[in-house]
Amino acid sequence: MKHLIIAVLCFTTMFAQAQKHFNPALKKQLDSVMLLDQKYRDTLTWLMTPDKVAATTKSLRMSASQAINHYSKLQKDIDSTNTLFVEAIFKRYGYPGKSLVGDSTSEAAWYVIQHSKKIDDYIPVIKKAAETHELTFRLYAMMLDRYLMSKNQEQVYGSQMTMRTLKATKKREWIVWPIKDLKNVNALRKKAGFKDTVEENAANLDVKYRVIKLDEIMM
């Protein structure tokens, strides 16, 4: 019995170590998942950007609302399939990080979860991957911000923008979601690996930055 237990422990250790070795087949699968994750997202972004929507709808020969509904459904179907695939990967390997699939592909599973309704379930997995350097910490910071926004709480790193109705104007508009520590947010961003400030990031995404408080938003 003692020899059997030792053999099982040795096998378990070898299996765990194997999970950390580069897996080219898994990398190829996740590269395909990454492409699918982005398939219709650029189009949807253009359809929600005032200065691009006219040209986009003209080329698609649909109204903006028709196009948004059409491409949202297509992307939603892809996202559902991708999420199931990534969940199976998590069960087998844990997070498929840099050791397993390389630097660039290590982001693939993150994108899938970031665009899913499973952030609550998997943010601990993402956090562990970031803390063990299997995933860029900046990506965990972005997911944390999205998680906090989903709970109607202030974000930490100022990475999340959203379209919401403000109480003062009664109009839907793009805003930077409220930030917890405005004074130190750009220092926190730099420490997390962001290359730009909150203000610069908003400008790059054509969002006019201004300070918004939670109580100014219609929830």
Give how many domains the chain has, as a whole number.
2
Q: Are residues 187 and 119 in the same domain?
A: no
Q: Are residues 44 and 124 in the same domain?
A: yes
Q: Are residues 29 and 131 in the same domain?
A: yes
| Within a domain: 61 | yes
Q: Are residues 30 and 91 in the same domain?
A: yes
Judged by phi (left if over 0) then psi (alpha if -120 to 50, else beta), residue 194 lies in beta
- pLDDT value, residue 52: 78
Judged by phi (left if over 0) then psi (alpha if -120 to 50, else beta), residue 42 lies in alpha
Q: Are residues 95 and 170 in the same domain?
A: no
- pLDDT value, residue 19: 52
| Within a domain: 9 | no
CA distance 144 to 124: 10
Displacement of CA 38 from its chain's centroid (Å): 11
CB 80 within 8 A of CB 72: no
| Within a domain: 87 | yes
Structural domain harbouring 203: 154-219
Give me the half-sphere count of Cα atoms (radius 13 Å) on the Cβ side of residue 33. Answer: 29
| Within a domain: 3 | no
Across the chain, which has 219 residues, the per-10-residue mean pLDDT values are 44 46 97 97 86 83 91 97 98 98 98 98 98 98 99 98 96 96 99 98 93 97
Q: Are residues 27 and 129 in the same domain?
A: yes
Q: Are residues 62 and 106 in the same domain?
A: yes
- pLDDT value, residue 6: 45
The predicted model scores a pTM of 0.85
Question: Final residue of a domain: which of 135, 166, 195?
Answer: 135
Q: Are residues 31 and 92 in the same domain?
A: yes
pLDDT 10s digits, 130-155: 999 999 999 999 999 999 999 999 99
Q: Are residues 89 and 162 in the same domain?
A: no
- Reading the block at residue 198, the tokens are 């909150």
Q: Are residues 95 and 179 in the same domain?
A: no
Q: Are residues 130 and 162 in the same domain?
A: no
Q: Are residues 53 and 86 in the same domain?
A: yes
The Cα angle at residue 157 between residues 154 and 159, in degrees rounded to 5? 90
- Cα end-to-end span (Å), the chain: 61
